[in-house]
Amino acid sequence: MTHLTEKRNVSDYYTHEIEKMANKPTWQWSANEIIVAIRKKKISAVEVIESICARMDAINPQLNAVVESLADKAIARARVLDQSSSSDKPLYGIPITIKINIDQVGFATSNGLPALKDFIADQDAPFVKNMEDAGAIVIGRTNTPEFSFRADTDNPLHGRTFNPWGRHISAGGSSGGAGAAVIAGIGALAHGNDIGGSLRFPASANGAVTVKPGLSRVPAWNPSQKSTERGLLAQSMSVQGLITRTAEDLHLAMPIAIKHDPRDPFHAPLPWRGDQLPRPIKVGYCKDDFGLGIHPDVTAALDAAAKALEDAGFVIEEVNPPLAQECGEVAFRTLMGEVNALMSRDIETLGSDELQSIFDEYYQLFPPYEGSELIRMMAQRSHYARQWSLFLEKYPLVLTPFLLQPFFGPGRDTEGSEGVREVMGHSLWSYVFNFTGLPAGNLPTRITKLNDGLQPIGVQIAGRRWREDLIVDAMVAIEQRIKPACHTLWETMNTLDEKTHR
């Protein structure tokens, strides 16, 4: 079996692709393509950022993905970089967006709440620092729902984010602004985070690519928290990460995201690449729908991913992973228990009536554990994580659904119990990997036409602890056989003349 990263040098590959790159607008370039073009002096950082900011100005009014433009600041930073001798920085000149729920000096960490619109950060979060130290340039801050606690992105402060595929599909959440921005060409990288699927929901919705890192992989902390810490389960389930258009860009940027920062005392400073495993690698393949039903398009997307992996030399075996449904249900009930205990007053005083109604439905669907039972179920995480660790000894990767149905429409979780059941009840596979602290990737392997138009269908690939690199390798192998969804999107989007965005 061969992976792209093993059979060729990625930088050399893109060097040979430079002539082809000249035939498409800069905003369509991947992060790998941008870095090679800059190093070969085919383009400057200023030219890259000016192009991306022009794209943002043109397309963002239709999407409301970026809610704070940093265009002027970004161009000024690019100019400084071009005048320096920093072109060897690993992310030199790469445009990135940052979600409005982490700290960035001089900007509000609003988390989608009107009450926090003036809550200005005076330090950068570790993720922002790592990206900027490596030469990435922040071009804007992206939208999130209130408290970053919905799988759809809308809030009273900035309004709704729309999906570039059309208004028949939610942009996902909570990193919906990030997913919509990156797939539409507003930046090559998009920051997001994930406590129950908030990187993977938007990746699925928008046809983008992500890998949710495992527990302690990426340093995380908001200095604006001061001495107030998040709940223990939130600390254990929430991670910072990236949404991109191609899996290869994760191999470029995630090694920067995981750089150590002592402000996260539980960060594990391990290298991005682990030891090479014996070939062929076994992939456990599971389509368990937990009795809820699985849509034929989701099945087709999973089969396409399995076929692509098999073609790449992986061994695919159908499996029944341990305690998946139980783990997913316990995960969300436990998380709701901690939220109810620690955040209910904030949700009541700072959240909108709509958000409070959604939480009422969450609590009905996933009754929160309370008291000693909550403590006991938090401890039970180790049991589920252990069972999965043993399972992954035989199958280093596992291919599963992410959502059991095609992505839902905007505001579906505001439509009572049935709406919340479709949004959250059909995503148990997501919560499994937050609760166990395991890494899980998501990428589109099918584009389907349903009643209201085209939409991508994403699948999930999870893996061993600390082995995000294996997951990304598998996604690269799939992308060599199934073209990234962004190409189909760009062919169908109603955009301005390409020359405007060059």
Whether residue 72 contacts residue 60, with contact meaning beta carbons closer than 8 Å, is answered with: no
| Catalytic annotation present for 344 | no
Q: How many Cα atoms sit within 13 Å of 328 on the Cβ side?
A: 19
Q: Write the single-letter amino acid at 329.
A: E
499 Cβ neighbours under 8 A, 6+ residues apart: none
| Sign of torsion over alpha carbons 280, 197, 442, 110 | negative
DSSP state of 162: B
Residue 224 falls in the annotated catalytic set: no
Q: CA distances (Å), 201 to each of 32, 178, 233, 403, 405, in order?
A: 24, 11, 20, 8, 12
Catalytic residue among 174, 175, 204, 352: 174
Determine which one of 198, 236, 238, 430 is catalytic.
Answer: 198
| Distance between CA atoms of residues 141 and 87, nearest Å | 25
The one-letter amino acid code at 319 reads V
DSSP string, 282-293: EEEE----TTS-
* DSSP characters over 100-156: TTS--TTSB--TT-GGGTT-B-SS--HHHHHHHHTT-EEEEEE---GGG--SS---T
Euclidean distance between CA atoms 40 and 52, whole angstroms: 19
Are residues 140 and 68 in contact, defined by beta-carbon separation less than 8 angstroms? yes
CA distance readout (Å), 39 to 50, 87, 88, 177, 439:
18, 7, 8, 30, 32
Nearest Cα neighbor of 405 from 201, 231, 238, 228 is 201
Residue tagged active-site, from 99, 212, 259, 282: 99
Angle at 215 between CA 210 and CA 218, to 5 degrees: 65
- 11 is known as an active-site residue: no
For residue 280, say if its preceding peptide bond is cis, omega within 30 degrees of 0.
yes
C-alpha torsion sign, points 420, 423, 427, 432:
negative
- CA dihedral for 270, 276, 277, 281, sign (positive or negative): positive
Q: Which residues are designated catalytic? A: 99, 174, 198
